[in-house]
Amino acid sequence: MSIMQMLREKAKTNVKTIVLPEGDEARTVKAAAILKAEGIARPVLLGNTEKVAFAAKEAGADISGICVVDPETSEKTKVYAEELYELRKSKGISPEDALKLVKDSMYYGIMMVKTGDADGLVSGAVHTTGDMLRPALQIIKTKPGCKVVSSAFLMDCPNKSLGENGLLVYSDCVVMPNPSAEELAHIAVSAAETAKTLCGIQEPRVAMLSFSTKGSAKHELVSKVQQATQLAHELRPDLLLDGEMQFDAAIVPEVGQSKAKGSPVAGRANVLVFPDLQAGNIGYKITQRIGGAECFAVLQGLAKPCNDLSRGCSVDDIVTTVAATAVQAQ
Ligand SMILES: CC(C)(COP(=O)(O)OP(=O)(O)OC[C@H]1O[C@@H](n2cnc3c(N)ncnc32)[C@H](O)[C@@H]1OP(=O)(O)O)[C@@H](O)C(=O)NCCC(=O)NCCS
């Protein structure tokens, strides 16, 4: 069973309420109909009720029985505005600004998650990554003990000898353009947790990637990864984590054996931590486009699950991401 199918099945075992702020968007209404029909989640669609109904009719999606909320007119809008004002007044927000913001579906959805009226949120079929991330970072914040929010791409590779039966977790490929050594250490710990709790990988083996393996090159960029490796060990001494190492040393047993002999991770890594966003974002796209991997991303390190879609996403991508969000909420 692929990771995508596994998450859908797992989501059904403890059904969660997931809010979809882009409720008047064609792919979103179609996905909502599937989520309800298959019992993967209880979707809540946000938007003008007439526009949502029109989008569903145009898309041929049956959204009967699905909760639709208009942030402009909802009875909760005022309550959320007051709560948002309290949360952000130290940042200079006024009560009027807060009311204006929660009438925006993205902020309304985030407030639903913050207050527990929804278990998670999925957005990004229309919004950019930054527009989706900013309210989540400002309002939901990081989970205790975690310094940064980052992302993990779950890469389902055709070559099943790689990683964990073909599954590799890549991090971070979406959020932090240039993490410090400390931030990179937190990204590594989060990625190991995602591998374990979301993907069911019993033994995450984390490789801290670089263009150098075990001091083969000397450069400040290499030093950052070496320092991050040390800090990650201090944060989680129990984790199987090693670095710095090159991509081939991380995933090819013979190369790992020759370049990093004795490493508990080299050659058999299932979690790959990239040194910055340029490497991570390019890396996942190479694996997807040339390597033929199926993939999708989740955010990690947030206190409550909120996930971003690519604007080019399919209906199927939305269903999978909602399933993953629901499993994170379990
Ligand atoms: C994540 C991102 C949206 C942050 O946007 P920003 O405008 O720089 O945000 P700011 O620095 O003003 O921070 C906003 C808040 O989020 C917090 N924050 C920012 N990045 C964070 C992170 N990675 N983890 C936790 N909190 C974070 C800040 O502390 C700040 O909190 P505060 O307002 O309570 O003080 C930005 O880093 C970004 O655009 N990343 C790249 C996303 C992208 O385009 N990816 C493309 C690949 S698909």
pLDDT, tens digit, for every residue of 118-149?
999 999 999 999 999 999 999 999 999 899 99
Ligand 1 mutation target, pool 137, 186, 277, 306, most atoms within 8 A of CB: 137
The number of CA neighbours under 13 Å toward the Cβ of 53 is: 7
48 C-alpha vs ligand 1 centroid, how far in Å?
A: 29
Structure tokens at 94: 């006024």
pLDDT digits (tens, 9 = 90+) for 198-225: 999 999 999 999 999 999 999 999 999 9
Pick the CATH number of 3-141+303-329 from 1.10.3720.10, 3.40.50.10950, 3.40.190.10, 3.50.50.60: 3.40.50.10950
Taking phi first (over 0 means left), then psi (-120 to 50 degrees means alpha), and beta for anything else, what does residue 123 get?
beta
- Mean pLDDT in residue range 238-267: 96
Q: 154 pLDDT exceeds 90?
A: yes
Q: 86 pLDDT exceeds 90?
A: yes
Which residue minimizes the CA distance to atom 46 of ligand 1? Answer: 174
% the chain with pLDDT above 70:
100
Q: 235 pLDDT exceeds 90?
A: yes
Using DSSP, state whether 61 is helix, strand or coil. coil
Helix or strand (DSSP H, E) at 318: helix 315-329
Which residue minimizes the CA distance to atom 7 of ligand 1? Answer: 134
Sheet holding 67-69, edge to edge: 67-69, 42-46, 17-20, 120-123, 306-308
Alpha-carbon distance of 262 to 256, in angstroms, equals 9
Q: Which amino acid is residue 137, in one-letter code?
A: L
149 C-alpha vs ligand 1 centroid, how far in Å?
A: 9
On average, the pLDDT of the chain sits at 96
Output the pLDDT for position 1.
Answer: 82
Output the pLDDT for position 105.
Answer: 96
Using DSSP, state whether 42 is helix, strand or coil. strand
CATH 3.40.50.10950 domain position(s) in the chain:
3-141+303-329
Q: Which residues contact 146 (CB under 8 A, 6 or more apart)?
A: 186, 189, 190, 301
Output the pLDDT for position 210.
Answer: 98
pLDDT digits (tens, 9 = 90+) for 278-301: 999 999 999 999 999 999 999 999
% the chain with pLDDT above 90:
97
| Torsion sign, CA atoms 284, 17, 107, 116 | negative
The number of CA neighbours under 13 Å toward the Cβ of 35 is: 36
Q: Would you say 68 and 29 are in contact if contact means Cβ atoms under 8 Å apart?
A: no
Which residue minimizes the CA distance to atom 42 of ligand 1? Answer: 175
174 C-alpha vs ligand 1 centroid, how far in Å?
A: 11
Helix or strand (DSSP H, E) at 170: strand 167-171
CATH of domain 150-295: 3.40.50.10750
Helix or strand (DSSP H, E) at 245: strand 240-245
CATH 3.40.50.10750 domain position(s) in the chain:
150-295
Output the pLDDT for position 270.
Answer: 98
- Mean pLDDT in residue range 63-83: 97
Global confidence as pTM: 0.93
